[in-house]
């Protein structure tokens, strides 16, 4: 899977979420839709073959590191 970034954008007095992927030649592929919920944006990226670059998805990183006893 290709890595992508999830980021926020202004939307109707608040914000929404989009994803983007940078190609090796520097061009950027970006979601056309804006998603009001973060997980909806993550799900949309995954459905299109992109892996959001989220630290807690990495083994031993993020939330997993803090929940082990």
Does residue 43 lie within any of the structural domains? yes
Does residue 34 lie within any of the structural domains? yes
Does residue 7 lie within any of the structural domains? yes
pLDDT digits (tens, 9 = 90+) for 27-53: 999 999 999 999 999 999 999 999 999
Q: Which domain holds residue 17?
A: 2-64
Does residue 39 lie within any of the structural domains? yes
Per residue, the 3-state secondary structure of the chain, as one string, reads CEEEEEEEEEECCEEEEEEEEECCCCCEEECCCCECCHHHHHHHHHHCCEEECCHHHCCCCHHHHHHCC
pLDDT at residue 59, as a whole number: 63
Domain tally for the chain? 1
pLDDT level of residue 58 (50, 70, 90 thresholds): low
Does residue 52 lie within any of the structural domains? yes
pLDDT at residue 24, as a whole number: 95
Does residue 69 lie within any of the structural domains? no
């Amino acid at each position: 899977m290709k890595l992508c970034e999830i980021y926020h954008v202004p939307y109707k007095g608040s914000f929404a979420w989009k994803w983007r992927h940078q190609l090796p030649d520097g061009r950027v592929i970006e979601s056309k839709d804006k998603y009001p919920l973060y997980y909806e944006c993550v799900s949309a990226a995954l459905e299109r073959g992109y892996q959001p670059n989220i630290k807690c998805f990495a083994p031993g990183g993020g939330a997993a590191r803090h929940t082990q006893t």
